Chain A
Amino acid sequence: MLRRFTAGRSIARRLAQGQAQPARLFSTSQPRKADITLTVDGKEVTVPQGTALIQACEAAGAAVPRFCYHDRLAIAGNCRMCLVEVERSPKPVASCAMPAMPGSKVFTNTPLVHKAREGVMEFLLANHPLDCPICDQGGECDLQDQSMRYGSDRTRFHEITGKRAVENKDLGPIVKTSMNRCIQCTRCVRFANDVAGVEELGTTGRGNDLQIGMYIEKTMDSEMSGNIIDLCPVGALTSKPYAFQARPWELKKTESIDVLDAVGSNIRVDSRGVQVMRIQPKINDEINEEWINDKTRYAYDGLKYQRLTTPLVREGDRFVPASWEHAMDTIRHGLQSSGAKGDEIKAVAGHTADTESLVALKDFINRLGSENLTLDQSLGDAPPVTGVDVRSNYLFNTGIENVGEADAVLLIGTNPRHEAAIINTRFRKSYLQTGAEFGLIGEDFDSVFEYDHVGTSPSDVEAFLSGKAVKGKGKGENDFARIWKEAKKPLIVVGSAVVEGKDGAAVLKAISKHVLANEKKFVTPEWNGFSILQRAASRAAAYDAGFTPSPTSTNTTPKFVYLLNADEIDPSTIPENAFVVYQGHHGDLGAQFADVCLPGAAYTEKSSTWVNTEGRSQLGRVAVVPPGASREDWKIIRALSEIVGSPIPYDDIIQLRQRMWDISPTLVRYDVIEKPSLEFIKLGLQLLSTPPSTTKAASTTPFKKPINDFYRTDAISRASVTMAACSKAFTKKEYDIASVDEAGSAQASYA
């Protein structure tokens, strides 16, 4: 039997070997507690001391229904649904608020337990509207499911006044409320306070009159607000953009990777037919735990608008739809007639270019004799100051999972809230739970943790790290300098904008010198406290693949420009008479300059590799097919290379991944982080600490935030209507709180 794809299996085997290696060497900060043993439903189970009883029941494989308890939130213990029977206990106990005791005998499936849960359910349903057929939670509702098991089949509720009626709240363009349905589990309150940092969301009143809200009429201004929709066990908080769009059982679920920031959040793309209906988080404790930010969750409607669906060829001042053959032929003519030779052929890779197409484009351009491979960032035409030889010089070496272990964090020229919202939630967690201290050198931002603003400019970085007082800072404010000196696990987070800026080399020099001088604290087998925070999904992969210009190509004036998803380009870098090809999925900025547009696939439409800011490569998956005549990106480049006359030597995705393996095995060793040796990390830092002699001294120009509008950072989110509404409401603060109960007068009450 002939088999074409034997190569694929060998990759699978290599990957399996890669995963067999010891996963990580980091020590945990929590001391190991003694284990205790108890019996749940006749089954012995051993759990660490201090575990909640509900966790012990789960460990024993007993399902305990719950509404208020959530694995990733603080324990509230107010829904009483998780009642279990414990031997020699006079009453059923709430298993979430009860610690597991050694030797106790727990029963989760006895008549007493059933009766108790039935009673709780009856109280919850007494004030819950019977609107499941028109409720968006229907089909994925905890209350609905559990009432099937524990609910009574007839009501004893005969109040003349009817059910409790609660006014709806307008929380902004994302969260839709229907507060009649609220069962007051307070999951949203705990999430908003502990994780998202919106301390205004809370409760008023007691008992039957308890209400969830913002206390005054205001929106819930957080980039993580969409998660409270997931957390809500009933339909009180549902999604406004998804309202009445689909039912969960109609959706095809595809587990994939998000590309709207460099965190690489794991997502589940729910699609129906040819359309993405919603995006949900996929649980991955190494990256995004159970959360995703609102841009990841709601920018999907941008995939419907402004799409390039057919090749376009510029004729005069307008684009004319063309066939693929015609478009490719036009490019061949354009390349010939432009007379571009060598480095005059330039490629620019954008924020959402996938790794496969980066590798294919690099091979293609190199075959044409050019080294002019650039990125669409400021100074993207020049070789990056971090270099690409040492991986730890441009990655988030600490690892997303481990940032919570840092006791002092120095943020340099970055706003983690907008550049990596998921990492920001980890910072808030460590701020609250382990007492981490934060310092910032750069532009102020609206933070969810308190920080000490110790400087604004590159020269302040030098001053602070060399222990000098930063100009304009009083003594009281410089507390962080003392904390920084005493820190056991310090962490420096350098924003990608700093590295891309003109002071990048000088700042990195100061930082790497400081890190090397304190290497016992910064670079140990367990801890690496020097991290660069990338903000674009394709950057780490571009550096890994060596998609960077050679020093000589920087000063060449290009005659042929190939834009791969490049929408953040500076228009002045494209010469007037150059022949420009744009390949991408949206008609955004880059397409405006193009002579030929080639329609590619967006991230939900191609199975491609993404490398996140910590250097973890992950494989996305196709959820829906690309619209119209658009094609997978690497295939476009492969076809073009053949038409231009220098075909790149791979015909299918497996051969291309072999090529990626040849370039860097990390690109196809999915889901694991390759940790370099300490010697290698230090070698990289030494390279950074000795930049070329032409490097200028650090200036006093303040750092600027690279992201001014979190909701509109790339072609997809700029095309999204939801993101436009969020930008208006949260960035520009122009949002009229609507009276959600339009009728304004009496609501229907059904007894």
Chain B
Amino acid sequence: MSLLPRYLIRSRPSIPSPSLSFRNRMLHTSRPLQAETRGPVDPPPAPAGAAPHTAIMDVVAGLAEGPVVPVEDASVVAAEVVSGAPHELQLRQVRIFKPTKSTMQSAKGKTKRWVLDWDVLQGAGRWENPLMGWASSADYMQGTTLGFRSKEAAISFAERQGWDYIVSEPKVAKIPPKNYANNYVHVPGKLRIHHTK
């Protein structure tokens, strides 16, 4: 137990240093770091009360939840400090949007989640590789998209990373009530279309 840094076993709110509270929050989720970045990301949990005592070895082994550290404001948790992402990433704007439904198909697959992605980088975006004719790129974010369950989750993620973002609100489809009987409704006046087929 003494091998571990002291802040890992603290169960009370710690000093409000961004990096410190971030790490504590990671411990609290007790999920591997990858799960945080790969799947849909939820907003940070609401502040909870003081957690009961847990053996730290259980936490390390993944058998128990870590100590709960309330995070008052998600925006103060600056993940950029510890994420190890290149500094250039801070200079690029990301876009948060809900993908449109494909008009080629009836089903609405892939339209429910929010997507965060990067604009194509001018000059380094893509070029045709002379060897095979495939596309090469110097932009390490060109193939990356992040999925989120809600807009708020995406915004909160971008804010914690320190990225500037633009949100494109989705357009709501306005479909009037439809009725088979409308095919046979009599419209007074001149007949404007001959529905014969």
A residues neighboring B (CB under 8 Å)? 1, 3-5, 8-9, 12, 16, 19, 30, 33, 47-52, 55, 63, 65-67, 69-72, 74-75, 77, 96-99, 137, 140-142, 145, 186, 189, 193-194, 199, 202-203, 230, 233, 248, 253, 255, 266, 268, 272-274, 280-286, 290, 431-432, 435, 450, 607, 619, 621-626, 631-632, 654, 670-671
Which 5 residue pairs of A and B lie closest in terms of their CB atoms, listed nearest first? A273-B135, A202-B197, A625-B125, A622-B120, A51-B177
Q: Which of B47-55, B66-74, B167-175 contacts A (4 or more CB under 8 A)?
A: B167-175
Which A residues lie within 8 Å of B168 (CB)? 255, 619, 670-671
Distance between Cα atoms of A70 and B178 in the complex (Å) = 10
Given contacts A12-B167, A74-B183, A432-B192, A273 and B80 within 8 Å (CB-CB): no
**CB-based nearest A residue for B124:** A625
Question: Are A75 and B183 neighbours in the complex by a CB distance under 8 Å?
Answer: yes
Question: Are B102 and A52 neighbours in the complex by a CB distance under 8 Å?
Answer: no
Q: Which of B4-12, B56-64, B88-96 contacts A (4 or more CB under 8 A)?
A: B88-96
Distance between Cα atoms of A142 and B104 in the complex (Å) = 8
Which B residues lie within 8 Å of A194 (CB)? 193
B176 at the interface (CB under 8 A from A): yes
Distance between Cα atoms of A145 and B102 in the complex (Å) = 14
B13 at the interface (CB under 8 A from A): no
Interface residues of B in 154-183 (CB under 8 A from A): 162, 164-169, 171-183
Which B residues lie within 8 Å of A141 (CB)? 105
Closest Cβ of chain B: how far from A614's Cβ, in Å? 15
Chain B interface, number of residues (Cβ within 8 angstroms): 55
B17 at the interface (CB under 8 A from A): no
Given contacts A1-B78, A51-B177, A285-B171, A66 and B106 within 8 Å (CB-CB): yes
Given contacts A3-B90, A273-B126, A619-B166, A625 and B177 within 8 Å (CB-CB): no
B186 at the interface (CB under 8 A from A): no
Q: Which of A1, A52, A74, A431 contacts B192 (CB 8 A)?
A: A431
Question: Are B183 and A286 neighbours in the complex by a CB distance under 8 Å?
Answer: no
Given contacts A3-B90, A273-B134, A282 and B100 within 8 Å (CB-CB): yes
Which B residues lie within 8 Å of A248 (CB)? 102, 104
B187 at the interface (CB under 8 A from A): yes
**CB-based nearest A residue for B178:** A52
Which B residues lie within 8 Å of A431 (CB)? 192
Known: A96-B180, A145-B105. 13 other contacts (CB 8 A): A5-B93, A12-B165, A63-B107, A65-B106, A74-B182, A96-B178, A99-B181, A141-B105, A202-B197, A273-B135, A274-B127, A283-B173, A621-B95
Question: Are B104 and A280 neighbours in the complex by a CB distance under 8 Å?
Answer: yes
B119 at the interface (CB under 8 A from A): yes
Question: Are B120 and A286 neighbours in the complex by a CB distance under 8 Å?
Answer: no
Which A residues lie within 8 Å of B119 (CB)? 607, 621-622
Question: Are A51 and B122 neighbours in the complex by a CB distance under 8 Å?
Answer: no
What 1/0 mask marks residues of chain B from 108 to 135 whose CB sits below 8 Å from any chain A CB? 0000000000011011011110000011
Which B residues lie within 8 Å of A631 (CB)? 122
Which B residues lie within 8 Å of A48 (CB)? 177
